[in-house]
Amino acid sequence: MPALWDEPCANVLFEAMMCGTPILGTHRGSLPEIVTAEVGALGDSVEELVELARGVDRLDPAACRARAEQHFSHLTMAEGYLGIFRHFLRTAELPDMAEPADRPPAHAFPDRSP
């Protein structure tokens, strides 16, 4: 995914990881939040991506699928949005979204009020 722009949400990465496909991409947009060392690598030039591609065969397809399921499945994403909406309804403010990429899945958030 050699994005040359600040990709806001790279659904193609989620689809690839669900299939067990490691990711190579740039440090643009949402890619650094999605790609960890266990599922791929990021570079800043075509030359870096070519070099990184040489090690992609050492990445575990099961780790790619597990990361996608834990953080980006349709259920996790829907629960995350529900958590945002619930927080907003309770506080009239949007939650702080500046969390690390490996935050717990949405269903682990405590604000599960109906």
Residues 54 and 78 in one domain: no
Residues 78 and 57 in one domain: no
Cα 28–Cα 29–Cα 31 angle in degrees, nearest 5? 75
The low-confidence residues of the chain, meaning pLDDT below 70, are 98-114
29 lies in some domain: yes
- State pTM to two decimals: 0.73
Cα 103–Cα 27–Cα 25 angle in degrees, nearest 5? 95
Write down the pLDDT at residue 112: 38
Q: CA–CA distance from 114 to each of 19, 79, 89, 93 (Å)?
A: 33, 12, 11, 18
Total domains present in the chain: 2
Write down the pLDDT at residue 111: 43
Specify whether the CB–CB gap between 101 and 32 falls below 8 A. yes
Write down the pLDDT at residue 3: 87
Specify whether the CB–CB gap between 30 and 9 falls below 8 A. yes
